Amino acid sequence: MQSPRRKRAGRNDVFLGVDAGTTVLKACAVDSATGNVLAHVSRRLPLQQSVGGGREQNVRGLDNALGRAVKSVREALGDRWDALAGIGLAAQGGSSIMADRKTGAPLTPMILWNDTRAQACAGVIAERTTPEFWREFTLRDGIPHGLARLVWLRERAPALFHDFNIHAGAGEWIFHRLTGIWRQDPGNAIQVGSYNAATKCLDAAAFDVVDLPLSLVATLRDGHETAPLSKAAAKRFRLPAGLPMAGPYIDQEAGYLSAVGISPRPVHCSLGTAWVCNYTRPDSPHIDSPRQLVLRSVLNGGQLVVLPLKTGNAAWDFILQTFLDSNHNKALEKAAEIFQKRLIPSEDAFAASVAPDVSGIPPNPYPGWRADVIRAVVAGMVFELAEALETPIAKKHADAIVLGGGASKGSYFCRMIAALYPGVPVRRQTGEALAAARGALYAFSPRIACAPTAAVRRPGEADCNALRQMGIQYQETRSIEE
């Protein structure tokens, strides 16, 4: 089915951006004339955990959350809902749903990207291939976790694997629910092993290793193409059938698009559940990091590098609860008070915090020790980010750092990052929670997709120098451990 030409924004139009994240679904309506957010809403997505590392969500629950979110935005807009001219969709990548190819009916729960039950299957796949195969195919090290999950799922439910069913990620399933068309983004495809990062297209080579047909997955999204809203979806959301819908984008790709326009070559740092750096570079077989995901850039050719870090807000939440308060909001308030007094940790506290086991830190050897531990942990997280930023900044793939995601609301994270890069502008997205939802609107208007930002104030020179010295110590300690 051919997609219609994408609609360009008119002065009175409104566009709806949707971001189905790992734990929260967000939606926002953006005014095309001003770029202002007219209404926004978020809905928690309940997580089911099971023994052995299971992480799942109910697909119908995801669908219901989408319906409630859109209804809330519609009610908030009132008559302006009739001016809705397009919808953009972003979603967390690397998830798995087996669904009926014709109807879209889910046949399994949505298995999330951080589900670890398929780890043993990755070892079996590794025995059939070589590390060099994966380096050439995915431009990273290791077996795509989604491919191992497919093998794991086939072992437990072989009847699901036939031509009448399809494998989809969260974004693909929602997109089909709204348009009746199966389409996947490269970010989800590379994590399931169906995408060749070097050739930027679907490739059966990895599926052949585990005897799976490439027809199990949908075709790739072509750039910023759109598809028309189906009659059923239009009736559900009180919209005209045929309204153009863009996507699906992986949330990190959409997050990067929300930073385009702030500078010619931004690096977008998503400080969310898992911290990720996103930047573009010219086509290259080089591996900047063994953990990278390399996708085709939807801007002016080249590659989009999505680089997950070894840290994220899950670790930060654990530290907050362990050292400050079991109530998350109260813990954040206490953290803010700590950093108002001083930004940089003492050398002793920092040395203890980079030990392999943070839980082994001795209790309160001096007044203010606990506060210093919090400062030191934040510094360590920032140094993990700095390691990822080293290559794009050194190679001039990035000329500005744009911070988004939940942790960017903490000025202490932002200021420490700014302290490490005196020659690079650092800006924080003021609508950080809606960055991916806005970025998914890039097909309609790059201007409205670009999230507003504010400059980050750098610390004084003494604090900057102290933090840089700690960064050197941190990297030296990590290299010894590795």
How do the domains of the chain map onto residue ranges?
14-250, 264-424+452-482
Region 264-424+452-482: CATH code: 3.30.420.40
Confidence at residue 2, expressed as pLDDT on a 0 to 100 scale: 41
* Closest by Cα among 112, 445, 404, 114 to 275: 404
Confidence at residue 370, expressed as pLDDT on a 0 to 100 scale: 83
Please list the ranges in the chain whose pLDDT falls under 50: 1-5, 356, 358
Main-chain phi, psi angles of 90, to 5 degrees? -125, 155
* Closest by Cα among 26, 35, 92, 41 to 444: 35
Chain centroid offset of residue 75 CA: 28
Q: Residue 383 has which token pair?
A: 């140094």
Q: Residue 49 has which token pair?
A: 């955990």
Q: What's the fold here for domain 14-250?
A: Nucleotidyltransferase; domain 5 (3.30.420)
In three-state form (DSSP H/G/I as H, E/B as E, the rest C), the secondary structure along 414-482 is: HHHHHHHCCCCCEEEECCHHHHHHHHCCCCCCHHHHCCCEEECCCCCHHHHHHHHHHHHHHHHHHHHHC
Q: Which residue has tokens 């679907």? A: 202
- The two domains 14-250 and 264-424+452-482 share their CATH topology (first three levels equal): yes
Main-chain phi, psi angles of 145, to 5 degrees? -65, -35
Q: Residue 80 has which token pair?
A: 């302006």
**What is d(CA 153, CA 427) in angstroms, rounded to the nearest whole number?**
43
Confidence at residue 458, expressed as pLDDT on a 0 to 100 scale: 94
| Structure confidence by residue, pLDDT tens digits, 22-80 | 889 999 999 999 999 999 999 999 889 998 899 999 999 999 999 999 999 999 999 99
Confidence at residue 366, expressed as pLDDT on a 0 to 100 scale: 66
**What is d(CA 471, CA 463) in angstroms, rounded to the nearest whole number?**
12
Q: Residue 91 has which token pair?
A: 């979603």
Helix, strand, coil in percent for the chain, rounding step 5: 45, 20, 35
pTM for this entry? 0.91
Q: Which whole-number Å values give the CA distances from 210 to 124, 150, 163, 165, 207, in the listed order?
A: 10, 9, 17, 18, 6
